[in-house]
Amino acid sequence: MIKLQEINKTYQVGDSPLRALCDVSLQIASGEYLSVMGPSGSGKSTLLNMIGLLDRPDSGRYWFDTVATEELSEERRARLRGENIGFIFQQFHLINRLSAFENIELPMMLAGQPLKQRRNTVANVLAMVGLSARASHKPNQLSGGQLQRVAIARAIVMRPRLLLADEPTGNLDSHSGGEVVDVLEKLNQDGITLIVVTHDQTLGDRAKRHIRMVDGRIHSDHSDDTRSQQRVEKRGKNSVDETD
């Protein structure tokens, strides 16, 4: 489903260039459950944005299904993103002036879908994340766990095939975090491809495939069932893990 080939990305930070991604090649099949871990500044988020078509590589190629995305116009990328990719952020990024329902509705609104269809779909996803009773609540009336579940509902309302979660439990206590993870894993079981970027080892360990990034490179990439095959190097987690 996703194929990255020798992706490079350099940011200008102050005077010195920062190589955020360095010859990253990666293939992800449909329905996979991936965790991306690594120290701050190792390029995890950049990789996520690259996969999510929010960012363009300086060089390298990226196929989404069979589409060579680097050739697409900004408009087409936005469309591909809107229809196929859902985002979940550590900061939730809900719009405060809008109710839960309206926040979830937003992607469908941008896609120009008719109101009736939107009502049904939003009601469905609200039920899916267990927040049917909170539809008309504004974000400031909801708890952290509820906010993130609204954000998940918004991410899946367009029925994307790929879900990108950047520290989805980073701002939550362990109980609400657990609820959020349950919802995400349920979605993965139903066939959605799930990529989670996290510092949290327990959350990272739950994935079926683990990618560790260091200095813009993929340091290790192994799956639970074939742990030995793809291992490049293994380091102790305490030596590299930091918090933001």
Residues in contact with another protein by CB under 8 A are 45-46, 49, 52, 54-55, 74-75, 78-79, 81-83, 86-87, 89, 91, 93, 95-98, 102, 106-107, 109-112, 114, 154-155, 158
Among 189, 227, 193, residue whose Cα is nearest residue 210: 227
3-state helix, strand, coil in the chain (%, to 5): 40, 25, 35
Residue 175 C-beta: closest distance to another protein, Å: 26
Residue 203 C-beta: closest distance to another protein, Å: 20
Nearer residue to another protein within complex by CB, 46 or 146: 46
Among 140, 54, 136, 46, residue whose Cα is nearest residue 92: 140
In this structure, the number of other CB atoms found within 10 A of the CB of residue 237 comes to 12
Residue with tokens 């990024």: 93
Nearer residue to another protein within complex by CB, 70 or 102: 102
Nearer residue to another protein within complex by CB, 94 or 218: 94
Residue 222 C-beta: closest distance to another protein, Å: 28
Cβ partners under 8 Å of residue 78, min gap 6: none
Distance CA 158, CA 169 (A): 22
Nearer residue to another protein within complex by CB, 60 or 178: 60
Residue 97 C-beta: closest distance to another protein, Å: 4
Residue with tokens 């970027």: 197
Nearer residue to another protein within complex by CB, 1 or 54: 54
Residue 112 C-beta: closest distance to another protein, Å: 5
Residue 90 one-letter amino acid:
Q
Distance CA 240, CA 233 (A): 13
